[in-house]
Amino acid sequence: MEYFYQVFNSLLTPIFIAFLVSTLGYAIGSVKIKGISLGTAGVLLVAILVGVLFSFVPQFTLGEKTVTLWNASKESVFSTISSIGTVMFVTAVGLIAGPKFFRSFNKSMMSYVIMGATIVLVGVGITILISWLDKDMNIAMGTGLLSGSLTSTPAFGAAKESAGELAGQVTAGYGIGYLYGVLGVVLFVQLMPKIMKVNIEEERAHFVAANTIQIKEDGKKRFQIEEFGFFPFFLTIVFGLLIGCIKVPIGGGNYFSFGSSGGTLIAGLIIGHFGHIGKIDMKVSKKTLNFMRELGLVLFLVGAGVPGGVRFVDAFDWMYIVYGIIMATVPMVVGFLLGKYVFRLSIFNNLGSITGGMTSTPALGSLISVAGTDDVASAYAATYPFALVLIVVSCNLMVLLPI
Phi, psi of 33 (to 5 degrees): -120, 110
Q: Which residues contact 300 (CB under 8 A, 6 or more apart)?
A: 82, 85, 86, 88, 89, 361, 362
pLDDT tens for residues 85-128? Answer: 988 988 998 898 888 777 665 657 889 999 999 999 999 999 99
Q: Which residues contact 162 (CB under 8 A, 6 or more apart)?
A: 254, 396, 397, 399, 400
Mean pLDDT of 181-203: 90
- Does 198 score more than 70 pLDDT? yes
pLDDT tens for residues 258-299? Answer: 778 788 988 998 999 899 999 999 999 989 999 998 999 899
Q: Name the nearest CA neighbour of 146 among 123, 162, 167.
A: 123
pTM: 0.78
| Sequence spans of domains, the chain | 2-211+228-398
Maximum pairwise Cα distance, the chain: 70
Q: Which residues contact 179 (CB under 8 A, 6 or more apart)?
A: 44, 48, 148, 308, 312, 324
Q: Where does the pLDDT of residue 385 fall: very low under 50, low under 70, confident under 90, or very high at 90 and above?
A: confident
What pLDDT does residue 281 have? 93
Please check whether residue 26 is in contact with residue 40, taking contact to mean a CB–CB distance below 8 angstroms: yes
What pLDDT does residue 106 have? 62
Is 227 exposed, middle or buried, given 0-12, 13-18 or 19+ CB atoms closer than 10 A?
Answer: exposed
Please check whether residue 269 is in contact with residue 102, taking contact to mean a CB–CB distance below 8 angstroms: yes
Q: Name the nearest CA neighbour of 345 among 316, 380, 299.
A: 380
What pLDDT does residue 129 have? 96
135-156 exposure pattern, b = at least 16 Cβ within 10 A, e = fewer? eebbbbbbbbbbbbbbbbbbbb
Percent of the chain with pLDDT over 90: 40
